Amino acid sequence: MKKATVNQRECVACGVCVKICPRRAISIFHGICADVDEDLCIGCSKCQKACPASVIQVVQKEVAS
């Protein structure tokens, strides 16, 4: 299952990812950086493509059984 992850050290908290996410899975944490709710993320990669700072990656995550 694919999920978005954010390099929070490099994130500039511009909010572009928040606006583009179709599931509202991303929020800006304390005005500092983006944070992804993995339960809501569907791995569509729209945020990754839209991020002007290129700090979002969509990666394969293991599913707990």
Domains: count for the chain: 1
pTM across the whole model:
0.90
For the segment 7-20, the average pLDDT, to the nearest whole number, is 98
Domain assignment present for 33? yes
Indicate left, alpha or beta for 3 from its phi (over 0: left) and psi (-120 to 50: alpha): beta
Domain assignment present for 46? yes
For the segment 11-23, the average pLDDT, to the nearest whole number, is 98
pLDDT in tens, 30-65: 999 999 999 999 999 999 999 999 999 999 988 766
The residue segments making up the domain with residue 17 are 2-60
Give pLDDT, residue 62.
83
Task: Identify the CATH number of the domain in which residue 38 sits.
Answer: 3.30.70.20
**Single-letter amino acid, residue 7:** N
Give pLDDT, residue 58.
97
More confident position, 65 or 11: 11
Residue written as token pair 């929020």: 27
* Inter-CA distances, 62 with 8, 30, 35, 65, Å: 21, 28, 19, 9
